[in-house]
Amino acid sequence: MKPIRILLADDHTVLRAGLKALLNAEADMQVVGEAEDGEVCVRQTVVLKPDIVLMDINMPRCNGLEALEQIHKLTPECRVLVLTMHDDPEYLRQVLSTGGAGYVLKQAASDELLSAIRAVHQGGVFLHPQHAQLLLQQQVAAPPTQLDLSAQEQRFQSLSEREAQIFRLVALGHRNGEIAEMLFLSVKTVETYKSRLMEKLGLHTRSALVRYALEIGALDEEDDKVTK
């Protein structure tokens, strides 16, 4: 099995060295490059084509959010996982809306970071449950207009029952293989349903799907209801 190829982007040399040692100690991971600012990160991503960019938000010359936007346009197949000190729902929302695949705090345990990298590499979106809750709280504090909410809900209600099931499972972070096992479907069938529902909802990334699910309250239902 090929290791997960990772590019590290952070302006702190000592932190990069520590992360490099941690990741290279894993049999399924390999650090293939480093960047000390956002501009170098974008250039290195285009040249090295890593599987994952592990990137800070606060960087000189070009911050992480600006770099993320460029990376998403230039190399959309690359997954970006943000590693930051900012426990702020607004930063989290911006990361997801710009195409980021996950958000991990620097004070998190190393096991959480490793799990996030593996989840993102397999096509998932990594959000700590606390962060998902923060997004929900922010949405309640500033709800969309009734017109916008109605339009969103109408699009969601256009999904078939099976598409709605798969939508919620994807939003909860389950991978295609897991969903296939839970619903007794083939992986290919799950992928077909997912492509169809994304097209109906006008969504292009998994992170956009998660944000949409939070906005319409689709994750408020209990997990056991999702699989019925």
Domain parsing of the chain, residue ranges? 4-128, 143-226
Contacts of 155 (CB under 8 A, 6+ apart): 200, 201, 202
Q: Which of 128, 123, 122, 142 is closest to 207 using CA atoms?
A: 123
Fold of 4-128: Rossmann fold (3.40.50)
Architecture of domain 143-226: Orthogonal Bundle (1.10)
DSSP string across 53-68: EEE-S--SSS-HHHHH
Quick: pLDDT tens for 94-109.
888 888 888 998 888 8
Position 125 pLDDT exceeds 50: yes
CA angle 92, 110, 28 (to 5 degrees): 100
Q: Count CB atoms within 10 A of the CB of residue 109.
A: 8
The Cα 104–Cα 16 span in angstroms is 15
Give how far Cα 167 sits from Cα of 144, 198, 204, Å: 21, 9, 13
Lowest mean pLDDT among 38-42, 78-82, 130-134: 130-134
pLDDT interval class at 5 (50, 70, 90): very high
Give me the pLDDT at residue 227, please. 42
The Cα 133–Cα 147 span in angstroms is 24
The Cα 19–Cα 196 span in angstroms is 39
Quick: pLDDT tens for 47-72.
999 999 999 998 988 888 899 989 98
